[in-house]
Amino acid sequence: MRCLNCSSIFNSKREDALYCSDRCRVAYHRKIRNKTVTDNSGKNIPNHMKTILSLCDYSGSWSKPYKEQGYNVVRIDLKRGQDVRLLEFPGEVYGVLAAPPCDHFASAGARWWKDKGNSALLEGLSVFDACARIVLFTNPKFWVFENPVGRLKDYIGQPQWIFDPCDYGDPYTKKTCLWGNFNSPPPREKVGPIRAPSGHHSMDQWLRNQGFSLGKSRAALRSVTPEGFSRAFFNANR
């Protein structure tokens, strides 16, 4: 990982470490206080000084274009051993991408909502709320939450943008909503979804065509942010 202050490469047991030393942490925050790092447009900030917090990001797919362009990408996911609810204040943040779990929100699981009861819903909302807390107190230049069509809108209102992965070149449908403060990514390289046997999702068929066997890993595979969308989002928000 790269130190936010001195840009040197360093190793840390913590995946979300931002500074190579306490000295750098203090120096960085002193610079921010003296307003030598940021300007209002963000244009004059070198990419490695722009921190992108990618929350609930296991695959790294959404944040990959930022990483490739040298941004300081910090990925947080329970499967990486980090609970976003315990994330400490990260300091200056340029952008937040958040893909909190949809298990208790997505319409696809609506038939189980009643049996699961409020405790499952509270669990889902607590992860969402933690991401929202980080956005509120870091006040990034752009921020965005992603979730499939479902009941999240009952708690945070209507989304600003809805897309299918095939709008950005990945040939399957999975209606996905975005909320936040960001530039909507215009569709590009739009394709039609591939044909699937009746009663099957085009995404499942697409995954099979890629050589994945579904079964237990189906949910995890389906939750990976589509690459075409990730590139389009990056182009609209950099």
Ligand X SMILES: C[S@@+](CC[C@H](N)C(=O)[O-])C[C@H]1O[C@@H](n2cnc3c(N)ncnc32)[C@H](O)[C@@H]1O
What gap in Å lies between CA 42 and CA 21, rounded to an integer?
Answer: 26
**Residue 135 contacts ligand X per CB under 6 A:** no
Q: Which of residues 165-204 bind ligand X (CB under 6 A)?
A: none
Strand-pair category, 95-98 with 51-55: parallel
Helix, strand, or coil (residue 3): coil
**Residue 57 contacts ligand X per CB under 6 A:** yes
The residue among 78 and 214 lying less far from ligand X, judged by its C-beta, is 78
Among positions 101, 109, 169, 187, the unique one binding ligand X when judged by CB under 6 A: 101
**Residue 53 contacts ligand X per CB under 6 A:** no
**Part in contact with ligand X (CB under 6 A); list of ranges 2-10, 35-43, 76-84, 167-175:** 76-84
Among positions 25, 58, 108, 113, the unique one binding ligand X when judged by CB under 6 A: 58
Among positions 4, 127, 144, 166, the unique one binding ligand X when judged by CB under 6 A: 127
**Residue 223 contacts ligand X per CB under 6 A:** yes
The residue among 3 and 130 lying less far from ligand X, judged by its C-beta, is 130
Among positions 14, 23, 30, 85, the unique one binding ligand X when judged by CB under 6 A: 85
Give residue 185's identity as a one-letter amino acid code.
P
Among positions 77, 92, 164, 167, the unique one binding ligand X when judged by CB under 6 A: 77
Rg (CA), the chain: 19
**Cα separation values, 118 from 8, 146, 158, Å:** 47, 22, 22
**Part in contact with ligand X (CB under 6 A); list of ranges 27-35, 88-96, 157-165, 222-230:** 222-230
Contact 25, 5 (CB under 8 A): yes
The residue among 142 and 229 lying less far from ligand X, judged by its C-beta, is 229
What gap in Å lies between CA 45 and CA 37, rounded to an integer?
Answer: 7
Strand-pair category, 72-76 with 51-55: parallel
Total interface residues for ligand X by CB under 6 A: 19
Among positions 4, 52, 99, 178, the unique one binding ligand X when judged by CB under 6 A: 99
**Part in contact with ligand X (CB under 6 A); list of ranges 45-53, 78-86, 174-182, 190-198:** 78-86
Residue owning tokens 């595979």:
221
What gap in Å lies between CA 96 and CA 94, rounded to an integer?
Answer: 7
Q: Which residues pair with 12 in a beta bridge?
A: none
**Cα separation values, 102 from 146, 162, 176, 186, 188, Å:** 9, 15, 11, 24, 26
Q: Which residues pair with 162 in a beta bridge?
A: 177
**Residue 224 contacts ligand X per CB under 6 A:** yes
Q: Can you give the binding site for ligand X, defined by CB under 6 A?
A: 56-59, 61, 76-79, 83-85, 99, 101-102, 127, 223-225
